[in-house]
Structure formats: structure tokens, C-alpha cells
Amino acid sequence: MKLSARNVFRGRVVAVHLGEVNAEVTVELAGGLRIVSVITKESAGRLGLAAGKEVHTIVKASSVMIATE
């Protein structure tokens, strides 16, 4: 698999919360940092996502914003 995204992190699924349409997937990376992704319920099933499964998280954003008060 080759990707254009440069931000690829290996981790382990720690939780999958299924909704009516979407699934919220929490992945723990090395060092304990967690990333939460919302994907379709169908995709979560097709990928066989469950706690303990090793996965790659891929982060690609066209902009990153910062705000202060």
C-alpha cells in the first residue's frame, strides 16, 4: 500500500462505539496518545475493527487552525 499522506501512525484499537450509521474508533499510539476517528459503520465492519486490533491511522488535512481567547 502506498499513500500520499505523510502522517501515518501505527496503533492499536482500544474502543469501537457503533452508532446507527457511523462508528467512533479510538486508537492508542505509542506513548499513550489516542486518536479518535469517525468512519462509517459499514467500513468498521469491513475492516474487522475491534479492541486489540493493530491498525494504521492516516491523517491528512488541508488546513490546521489554532485559536485563542
Question: pLDDT tens for residues 3-44?
Answer: 888 888 999 999 999 999 999 999 999 999 999 999 999 999
Strand 22-29 with 34-40, pairing:
antiparallel
Residue 10 to residues 13, 27, 34, 35, 55, Cα–Cα distance (Å): 10, 9, 11, 11, 6
Q: What is the pTM of this model?
A: 0.85
Pick the CATH number of 7-51 from 3.10.450.50, 2.40.37.10, 2.40.50.100, 3.80.10.10: 2.40.50.100
